[in-house]
A and B are shown apart, each in its own frame.
Chain A
């Protein structure tokens, strides 16, 4: 079945450690996105990528980094520079000129 897979579903890290969230899609979509969800704030765009080896900052990119070495994969690294990393992270993908974005099931990151 085609879809977007995020792993793990729950992730715990100690403060000061970098952590990488995985996002894989087998939909052959060109564009991929990372959103952060906090209570009462909806979803905010962290980074997005239109094609392999290219990505742009979204609205809240500080403290995050990404790579896009393969079309299917768009991992997100939450660095120690991110001041408040505990949140729910959603990955999405879409096809150019098609308006619907497909979402993964999310990763809940807790930093203690």
Chain B
């Protein structure tokens, strides 16, 4: 079974600073996907960024980037130039590659990120 661990329950930074959220996972699979989801106070789950395990290049989406270390089973999220709207719960998630059928996500416990003005 796969497990995902987020060791930082809460983090707080000033607006415009850079912040890094940590995530480690455990799996015996070689082909999989990793995700960061954001859950703002509205509680809507929003996909922030996705990484395919077979890709060595780290994924980036505007101010969001990841540091994917496959051998270390580490998948951290870096938010640059943080904004007040980035305040949210952030979940790291794992999904085994499935060529057909359901895409089941395994989530970490979450990190509550607060951006202070």
CB proximity of A93 to chain B, nearest CB, Å: 10
The answer to whether A99 touches B45 (Cβ under 8 A) is no
Check: A65 CB closer than 8 A to any chain B CB.
no
The answer to whether A50 touches B110 (Cβ under 8 A) is no
Complex Cα gap A96–B107 (Å)? 20
Residues of B near A90 (CB, < 8 A) are: 45
Partner of A42 from the list B50, B91, B100 (CB cut-off 8 Å) is B91
Residues of A near B42 (CB, < 8 A) are: 105
Q: Which residue of A lies closest to B108 (CB)?
A: A42
Interface size on A (CB < 8 Å)? 27
Check: B104 CB closer than 8 A to any chain A CB.
yes
Check: B103 CB closer than 8 A to any chain A CB.
yes
Count the A-B residue pairs with Cβ separation under 8 angstroms: how many?
A: 60
Known: A100-B47, A105-B43. A43 touches B91 (CB 8 A): yes
Check: B72 CB closer than 8 A to any chain A CB.
no
Q: Which residue of A lies closest to B99 (CB)?
A: A97
The answer to whether B103 touches A101 (Cβ under 8 A) is yes
Check: B33 CB closer than 8 A to any chain A CB.
yes
CB proximity of A45 to chain B, nearest CB, Å: 6
Known: A42-B108, A100-B50. A94 touches B102 (CB 8 A): yes
Residues of A near B6 (CB, < 8 A) are: 42
CB proximity of A97 to chain B, nearest CB, Å: 6
The answer to whether B105 touches A43 (Cβ under 8 A) is yes
Given contact pairs A33-B102, A48-B104, enumerate 4 new A-B contacts (beta carbons under 8 Å).
A43-B105, A50-B102, A99-B33, A100-B50
